[in-house]
């Protein structure tokens, strides 16, 4: 799969096959500026950070369900996120 984020009028996080077929929007509400995304294949989760909401969240990789807030801050411009084992790394601008 190819995973992506979009800003603008309709911000979202989506996935599709590598040839662009079977496009699916996984998240389209409660996000504004989704920046970085990271996949945890061991836990079957997709993580993202949002520079506008100052949150790192995650969902089930296949279904897009079970949305959870992992970290919520203030005055942090979250830019990227990476997951490795039991650790989450992020950067701000």
**Angstrom distance (rounded) from CA 76 to CA 51:** 7
Residue 65's φ and ψ, nearest 5 degrees, are -90, -175
**Angstrom distance (rounded) from CA 79 to CA 23:** 25
Q: What is the mean pLDDT of residues 83-89?
A: 92
**Angstrom distance (rounded) from CA 45 to CA 21:** 22
CATH code linked to domain 2-92: 2.40.10.500
The answer to whether the CB of 7 falls within 8 A of the CB of 50 is no
pLDDT tens for residues 17-73? 999 999 999 999 999 999 899 999 999 999 999 989 999 999 999 889 999 999 998
Amino acid 39: pLDDT? 96
Among positive and negative, which fits the CA dihedral 52, 23, 88, 67?
positive
């Amino acid at each position: 799969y190819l995973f992506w984020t979009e800003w603008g009028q309709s911000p979202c996080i989506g996935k599709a096959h590598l040839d662009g077929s079977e496009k699916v929007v996984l998240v389209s509400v409660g996000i504004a500026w989704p920046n970085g995304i990271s996949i945890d294949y061991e836990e079957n989760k997709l993580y993202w950070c949002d520079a506008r909401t100052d949150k790192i969240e995650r969902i089930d990789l296949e279904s897009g369900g079970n949305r959870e807030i992992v970290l919520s801050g203030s005055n942090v411009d979250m830019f990227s996120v990476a997951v490795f084992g039991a650790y989450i790394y992020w950067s701000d601008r």
